[in-house]
Homo-oligomer: A and B are copies of this chain.
Amino acid sequence: LYLKFHYTIMNAELHVIGQQSPDDLDGVRALVASGNLDPAQIVAFLNKTEGNGCVNDFARGYCSHVIHQYLDEVIGAEASSDVLSIMSGGCEGVISPHMNVFSSYPDEGAKKTGGLILGTGRTRDFTPAEIGRLPMVEETAKVVRELMRELELPKEEVHFVQIKCPLISSADVIAARASGEKLVTEDTLKSMGWSRGASSLGVALALGEANPSTVEAAILSDLEVFSSVASSSSGIELKGCEVLVMGNSPKSSSSLRIGHAVMKDAIDREAVLRACAESQGRTEGFEVDRVVNVFAKSEVNPSGLVRGARHTMLQDSDINGTRMSRAVVGAIVSSVLGRTQVYVSGGAEHQGPPGGGPVCAISRID
């Protein structure tokens, strides 16, 4: 169990940096060169990379590779390995490829703001047979609980839990067949959903949103069991789960604040407005220029309907529905912010209600 706590954050920063391609670090280098970003203080990358966002999307791995190659050089391999690099593939529609770089600085007695607090952790690696099953749920819950305990963050102040989780590869399928082991699915694309679902139920378990005795049976089965703050992305480039917990805390001296809401479906613009307002400490209305970014999950409505009318995403055999759902939620969020470097990650199994998903906003409060 790897854990890293960032509860003493001063001037915690979230930099939103555009990318020209998955290996483009020019923006990061420029920020570092200008003294506005100290690479030694980077906590996590939360990136939207271009690619199909599905199984054979190597842009995620490529981006993650060059990030760690760079960090290895500038802060050393050990410190580099502490930095989470969560790559969410797929920049459909207007979504613009970008990095969200979270960094934290020692606060040395700075004024407390009640703002953003971060904690990061990693589960152990999972075997392919564990992916999408109870061990994944429980190990993820364990990391989330530990992070909350160390951050002294009560449930109601947890606003977003971002997870990067593994998938079952073709090689895993072949190996499992050879050994006679039964995987939760042999469909590599579907395995992404199982992995996201089990990880998110881990968050739900940690936050008391799911029942320990029934959570196993709920995986991809009872979608009404969900977390309101979990956001999971699946990728081929890791074997365990990486976890980033975000909340507001009296211990924080950050100038950022987080708020969240739950989109009931892909066109629930009102939920995006509520998350933005909450991030600015309001129940209604907000200043768009103070919003640093919005992070949302999207999902093809499994009922086949949106607002009672049929959608075609479940039976389009040319384009994976996940891609289309990102395009939709990306458009909604972009129209709220008036800009397109927004973070929308697809596949919201047990992340918000079926067809919907959690959304959080981070605003500057000073």
Contact = CB atoms under 8 A, between A and B. Distances in A.
Interface of A: 18, 20-23, 50-52, 54-59, 61-62, 65-66, 69, 91-98, 169-171, 173-174, 177, 186-190, 236, 266-267, 269, 302-320, 323-325, 327-332, 334-335, 338-341
A307 B339 contact: yes
A208 to B, nearest CB: 28
Contact of A317 (B57, B302, B307): B57
Nearest to A323: B319
Contact of A266 (B22, B59, B331): B331
Contact of A335 (B54, B267, B310, B341): B267
Contact of A20 (B92, B171, B311, B316): B171
Contacts of A50: 56, 58, 312, 316
A340 B94 contact: no
A343 to B, nearest CB: 13
A328 B58 contact: no
Contacts of A20: 171, 310
B62 A56 contact: no
Q: Which 3 A-B pairs have the closest CB atoms?
A: A54-B317, A96-B309, A331-B331
Given A93-B324, A267-B331, 12 more contacts: A22-B58, A22-B61, A58-B59, A93-B313, A93-B325, A93-B331, A96-B306, A97-B310, A170-B314, A307-B340, A309-B341, A318-B318
Contacts of A335: 267, 269, 332, 335
Contacts of A325: 93
A335 to B, nearest CB: 4
Given A305-B174, A331-B328, A340-B307, A91 B61 contact: no
A293 B364 CA distance: 39
Contacts of A319: 92, 319, 323
Nearest to A301: B94
30 contacts: A18-B309, A18-B310, A21-B58, A22-B61, A22-B62, A23-B58, A23-B61, A51-B56, A51-B58, A55-B315, A55-B317, A58-B58, A58-B62, A65-B65, A92-B327, A93-B328, A94-B266, A96-B312, A97-B310, A170-B310, A170-B314, A171-B304, A174-B303, A267-B331, A269-B335, A307-B338, A309-B341, A317-B320, A328-B331, A332-B332
